[in-house]
Structure 1
């Protein structure tokens, strides 16, 4: 299936420090490309995969499950591991969930986590009916383009596929249950005014991870897709400082 222009994955081979970058649900690598390029410009080795079912059509995404997305992220991690001995995972929204899963699955390989409005649950009352609704209604309105900055658009789907969303919920349950397994340093950047992911997600993360090194930064001038919003420069700067700090050799 043809990939939408601008939705292509990004890869760069650089130093022995690797950065695994994960985009969000119904989105594409476009939302994380500025961070990926900033890391590449700094000389790091970078992998930003396009998750299966993304960047094509929402109907194709409805045929995919969370294990498909995780397999793509895990394969990208394996690529980095072949070249790098220090890796940091960076994720937006569901990409934050996947980055968290990477830290849980590779506790000795992932040195740190950068999480931008990570998703572990949602408030939408319709989610209670989702197990049944997914078999009746294929999609609901889009969750994309929650951006405060005028004139900026996220390359994402115009519909939210429900079977894929239900699968994401199953991933949330697994990752949330295992949050105490996360011991790596965490940089959490989240927007108080987020119309997609509720503030409970950030509170849940901070309360349940076992990390002693936790930094929280509020993105007060951005909505959900903060990597393309008014706080983008702040996110990139803080991400670069964090990567440098947590990958320093003892």
Structure 2
């Protein structure tokens, strides 16, 4: 399952010196059927890219949604680039894609995996989306030392990778190192997402793997406690680890989330 990633030149040069890995090119998938009035903006996870959610994206497109999977800033090139990206860069990129989708479609659902789930929830707190579907959203850290990342980033540039937590024999093609500056940005994203949860009014579904070895159960607890104005459903993924969008419960995620998108878009149309 290992995948050797390219390394940025040393000393670091401007972001963008390393081409985007073709496996992580962004996706913009037209709906295979339906009226074309809905879009799903789907957000990948930390140090990974669109490849980790592409099967989910294609399945929802086949079931009638336009699906947009952007490549987030600092991703898809080399881990050093992610050390130069802020939480505001990442949050702003997702909101920009949601805003664009809202200009072209009557209904927009935000979806995401891990950090992408936190970013989807953050966007839903500030944009009039029809629904939110998240897979193992990262609203808390599993490693206590991660909270020290804002200070540690000035001492150490990277740590061991947090990738390929998958029961199935596949790889998400994530970075071979975890950028500490990126972890600091992720912590700020988590705090902003949790603060915004009470503002979300769209229905939320969370697909949760009890065997997740990356994001702790406290993330689900924070999500459930923070949603005060939104209907919330949790779906357990008993056969998958953290990257469940590439794991053995993907068929369950696909079928349930496709029905969820249909339901929330019909509900929004009646308002």
With the shorter chain as reference, the TM-score category is: over 0.9
Structure 2 unaligned regions, length at least 5? 1-17
**Aligned twin of 2:43:** 22
The answer to whether the 8 Å contact 1:45/1:80 transfers is: no
Q: How much has 1:185 moved relative to structure 2?
A: 0.6
**Aligned twin of 2:250:** 232
* TM-superposition CA deviations, 1:34-58 (whole Å, max 9, x none): 1111122123122110001101000
Q: Once structures 1 and 2 are overlaid, which stretch shifts more, 186-195 or 125-134?
A: 125-134
The answer to whether the 8 Å contact 2:147/2:187 transfers is: no
**Aligned twin of 1:71:** 92
1:6 aligns with 2:23: yes
Structure 1 unaligned regions, length at least 5? none
The answer to whether the 8 Å contact 1:58/1:159 transfers is: yes
How far apart in 2 are the matches of 1:45 and 1:8? 17
* TM-superposition CA deviations, 1:100-122 (whole Å, max 9, x none): 0111011xx20111010001111
After the TM superposition, which residues 90-105 of structure 1 pair with which residues of structure 2 at under 5 Å, given as runs? Answer: 90-105=111-126
Q: What is the SS of the residue equivalent to 1:11?
A: strand
Tell me which stretches of 4 or more aligned residues in structure 1 moved more than 4 Å. Answer: none
Q: Count matched residues.
A: 247
**Aligned twin of 2:8:** none
How far apart in 2 are the matches of 1:212 and 1:58? 36
**Aligned twin of 1:62:** 83
How far apart in 1 are the matches of 2:60 and 2:146? 36
How far apart in 1 are the matches of 2:143 and 2:205? 26
Query: Aligned Cα RMSD in Å?
Result: 1.2
How far apart in 1 are the matches of 2:182 and 2:138? 15
After the TM superposition, which residues 69-218 of structure 1 pair with which residues of structure 2 at under 5 Å, given as runs? Answer: 69-106=90-127, 109-149=128-168, 151-218=169-236
* TM-superposition CA deviations, 1:141-175 (whole Å, max 9, x none): 111100011x2111110111001110110121121
How far apart in 2 are the matches of 1:211 and 1:221? 31
Distance 1:230 1:183, change over 3 A: same
How far apart in 2 are the matches of 1:122 and 1:135? 20
How far apart in 2 are the matches of 1:64 and 1:13? 30
The TM-score with structure 2 as length reference comes to 0.88
How far apart in 1 are the matches of 2:101 and 2:180? 32
